[in-house]
């Protein structure tokens, strides 16, 4: 298959490029060479490549930036996502739109399945929800893939931030009342690679299994890295003011892809693997 990936230098896009290149012909684009909010340029690039599948991993992922500039968020994550789906539709390609657990309000008591009603509570979540709607409207051959709390080697990531602060002896205060699914980008990329082989278009939740608060995620990471004795203070969202309001309890439940045998391992196993690969696990025995 020929697959075109936008946002190809991002956390997920770069891993998709690597994973899919083993079995497919893959072209990757990112800023500055291709801006998905530039309809004419995007359309020309997709026409020239003539892919069978377009994966939109491009997004404005700065949630606090989105809260400060909701119009820009809507342009980048709503309108531009629709552009990608329409450009794909014009060449007869399917589209994968990557979305987020932040389309939910976080007020529930149970993990959200694929059919739970969306009710975003911040501009990032709203813009991603708008992107989902736009994609559904213009390209019936769509996979909407919602995920959460990605961690990846290189660049910004929660795990390295926690380990870095612990080693620097900085006080560690982590939110305990925000819950979702820590998800390894390697596992997500592999699951997307399986999903696009199915031809079963629809909405999917692809996350490492299980859920954790940010505090539990940090505590588990420190323990595995041999830093379990480092003090970690649990704080509430109210004690961590920021421009965006995250949903409190918005873990995703994979019920749809699981029917086709596409499941991600538990988040704890994924964190352990990530740390092992990064050389962050102390030698045992």
User: Which parts of this chain interact with ligand NAP (CB under 6 A)?
Assistant: 6-7, 9-13, 30-31, 34-37, 57-61, 76, 80, 98, 100, 128, 147-150
- Compute the least distance from the CB of residue 272 to ligand NAP, in Å: 19
Q: How far apart are CA 46 and CA 40, in angstroms?
A: 10
Q: What one-character DSSP code corresponds to residue 207? A: -
Q: How far apart are CA 218 and CA 163, in angstroms?
A: 9
Q: How far apart are CA 192 and CA 274, in angstroms?
A: 19
Q: Which is nearer to ligand NAP, 5 or 163 (CB)?
A: 5
Q: Which is nearer to ligand NAP, 12 or 256 (CB)?
A: 12
Q: Where are the alpha helices (DSSP H) in the chain?
A: 11-20, 39-49, 63-68, 70-73, 80-90, 123-138, 158-167, 185-195, 214-224, 256-259, 267-277
- Compute the least distance from the CB of residue 224 to ligand NAP, in Å: 20
Return the structure tokens found at 113. 């399945």
- Catalytic choice (29, 124, 143, 215): 124
Q: Which residue is nearest to ligand NAP (CB)?
A: 10
Q: How far apart are CA 39 and CA 60, in angstroms?
A: 17
**Annotation says 215 is catalytic:** no
- Compute the least distance from the CB of residue 63 to ligand NAP, in Å: 9
190: left (phi over 0), alpha (psi -120 to 50) or beta: alpha
- Compute the least distance from the CB of residue 52 to ligand NAP, in Å: 21
Q: Which is nearer to ligand NAP, 128 or 142 (CB)?
A: 128
Q: Which is nearer to ligand NAP, 187 or 230 (CB)?
A: 187
Catalytic residues: 124
């Amino acid at each position: 298959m020929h697959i075109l990936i936008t946002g190809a230098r991002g956390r997920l896009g770069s891993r998709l490029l690597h994973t899919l290149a083993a079995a497919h012909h893959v072209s990757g684009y990112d800023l500055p060479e291709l801006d998905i909010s530039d309809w004419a340029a995007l359309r020309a690039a997709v026409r020239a490549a003539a892919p069978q599948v377009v994966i939109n991993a491009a997004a404005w992922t700065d949630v606090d930036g989105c809260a400060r500039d909701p119009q820009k968020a809507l342009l980048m994550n709503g309108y531009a996502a629709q552009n990608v789906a329409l450009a794909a539709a014009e060449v007869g390609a399917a589209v994968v739109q990557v979305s987020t657990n932040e389309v939910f309000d976080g007020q529930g008591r149970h993990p959200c399945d694929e059919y739970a009603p969306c009710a975003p509570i911040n501009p990032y979540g709203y813009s991603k929800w708008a992107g989902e709607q736009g994609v559904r409207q213009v390209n019936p051959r769509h996979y909407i893939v919602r995920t959460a709390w990605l961690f990846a080697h290189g660049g910004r990531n929660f795990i390295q931030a926690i380990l870095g602060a612990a080693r620097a002896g900085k006080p560690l205060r982590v939110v305990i009342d925000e819950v979702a699914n820590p998800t390894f980008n390697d596992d997500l990329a592999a699951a997307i690679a399986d999903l696009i082989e199915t031809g079963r278009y629809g909405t999917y939740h692809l996350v490492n299994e299980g859920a954790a608060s940010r505090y539990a995620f940090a505590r588990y990471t420190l323990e595995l890295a041999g830093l379990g004795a480092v003090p970690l203070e649990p704080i509430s969202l109210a004690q961590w003011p920021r421009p965006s309001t995250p949903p409190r309890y918005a873990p995703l439940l994979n019920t749809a892809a699981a029917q086709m045998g596409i499941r991600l391992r538990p988040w704890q196993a994924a964190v352990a693997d990530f740390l092992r690969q990064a050389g962050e696990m102390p030698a045992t025995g």
